[in-house]
């Protein structure tokens, strides 16, 4: 049985994602995202499940930063979960002065809290389930949690299906140490992080390498390198799998332009998106072109 570290404690959205991505495996809660990834790097877990992107709040920056530091880890699978919240209180609570949750969750229920719990102060906790733990301990009055959290903590449900934006989703990754990659499926996602220098056109050059090969970008995030003011790392997701000639070609080009590019994984997409291939940008076009150059070099063709 594999050991899967996840951003916990029990009752987070991430725990549900881990159950979907690694059914039947042993789940080990970690208090923070860096701690879940550190467990894999240290060999205490075989893989980790962490959130990467929310449709309302955008990138989960703790995941981006932790993936670009220390030893490399690669994503091997992803899942998209619908996100709406329950509001939980201690039995007998009559007045709600504080509402605790993960900052991403608080941001997704801001209007609901203003309308339904006027005057209540939002308080950030390390995760949605950590807010339930804190409410149970009497630290805060209400917790904004995943619906499943009520099964783990002795709290009462004040409201369900709470969300300022309907149909919100969070994407979660299963990451491991580099090893065997998942097989390409024809609807895959590849992720990299590349540090670009603070120079005119540096980012445009990286993106042009993708554009000229007809490769569709699915996400772009920038995070400071923290060393030099104005220097950023770019997290770039695009359609395709590293096993494909066209994706290998763009990775080689990015590696030439940016020596410290890091591969963050190629795996099937969870959004059932189809990969649009522009004329001249199919894998056969790349292999045909390489074969033609080889035969020109041999003098067999012109």
Ligand X SMILES: O=C(O)C(=O)C[C@]1(C(=O)O)C=C[C@@H](O)C=C1
Out of 39, 74, 105, 196, the residue judged to bind ligand X by CB under 6 A: 105
Provide, rounded to whole angstroms, the least separation between the CB of residue 245 and ligand X. Answer: 35
248-287 residues in contact with ligand X (CB under 6 A) are: none
Calculate the dihedral angle through the C-alpha atoms of 75, 81, 83, 84, rounding to the nearest 10 degrees.
-150
Nearer to ligand X, 89 or 101 (CB): 101
Three-class SS of 245-296: HHHHHHHHHHHHHCCCCEEEEEEECCCCCCCCCCCCCCHHHHHHHHHHHHHH
Q: Which two tokens stand for residue 36?
A: 């879940």
Q: Could you tell me which residues come within 8 angstroms of residue 162 by beta carbon, excluding any fewer than 6 positions away?
A: 84, 85, 86, 87, 109, 112, 144
211-250 residues in contact with ligand X (CB under 6 A) are: none
Q: Could you give the string, one character per residue 23-62, with x where binding to ligand X holds by CB under 6 A and - elsewhere?
A: ----------------------------x--x-----x--
Q: Which two tokens stand for residue 187?
A: 């609807």
120-139 residues in contact with ligand X (CB under 6 A) are: 127-129
Out of 86, 89, 170, 283, the residue judged to bind ligand X by CB under 6 A: 170
Out of 39, 104, 173, 233, the residue judged to bind ligand X by CB under 6 A: 104
Instruction: Give the side-chain half-sphere CA count within 13 A for 14.
Output: 34
Q: Which residues pair with 239 in a beta bridge?
A: 189
Instruction: Pick the stretch among 10-18, 66-74, 266-274, 289-297 that binds ligand X (CB under 6 A).
Output: 10-18
- State the residues that interact with ligand X by CB under 6 A: 7, 12-14, 51, 54, 60, 83, 102, 104-105, 127-129, 146, 170
């Amino acid at each position: 049985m594999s050991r899967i570290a996840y951003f916990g404690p029990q009752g987070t959205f991430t725990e549900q994602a881990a159950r979907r991505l690694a059914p039947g495996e042993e789940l080990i809660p970690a208090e923070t995202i860096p701690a879940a990834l550190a467990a894999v790097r240290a060999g205490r877990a075989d893989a980790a499940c962490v959130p990467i992107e929310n449709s309302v709040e955008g990138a989960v920056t703790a995941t981006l930063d932790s993936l670009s530091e220390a030893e490399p880890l690669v994503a091997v699978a992803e899942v998209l979960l619908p996100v709406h919240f329950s509001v939980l209180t201690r039995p007998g609570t009559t007045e709600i002065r504080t509402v605790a949750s993960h900052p991403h969750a608080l941001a997704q229920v801001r209007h609901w809290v203003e309308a339904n719990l006027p005057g209540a102060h939002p308080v950030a906790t390390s995760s949605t389930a950590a807010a339930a733990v804190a409410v149970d301990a009497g630290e805060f009055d209400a917790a904004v949690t995943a619906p499943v959290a009520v099964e783990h903590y002795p709290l009462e449900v004040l409201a369900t299906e709470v969300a300022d934006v309907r149909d919100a989703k969070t994407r979660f990754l299963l990451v491991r140490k580099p090893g065997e990659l998942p097989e390409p499926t024809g609807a895959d996602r590849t992720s990299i992080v590349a540090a670009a220098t603070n120079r005119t056109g540096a980012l445009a050059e990286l993106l042009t390498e993708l554009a000229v090969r007809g490769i569709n970008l699915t996400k772009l995030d920038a995070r400071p390198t923290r060393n030099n003011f104005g220097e950023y790392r770019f997290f770039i997701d695009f359609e395709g799998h590293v096993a494909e000639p066209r994706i290998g070609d763009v990775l080689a080009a990015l590696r030439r332009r940016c020596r410290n590019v890091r591969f963050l994984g190629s795996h099937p997409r969870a959004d059932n998106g189809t990969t649009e291939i522009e004329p001249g940008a199919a894998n056969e076009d790349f292999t045909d072109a390489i074969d033609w150059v080889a035969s020109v070099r041999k003098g067999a063709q012109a």
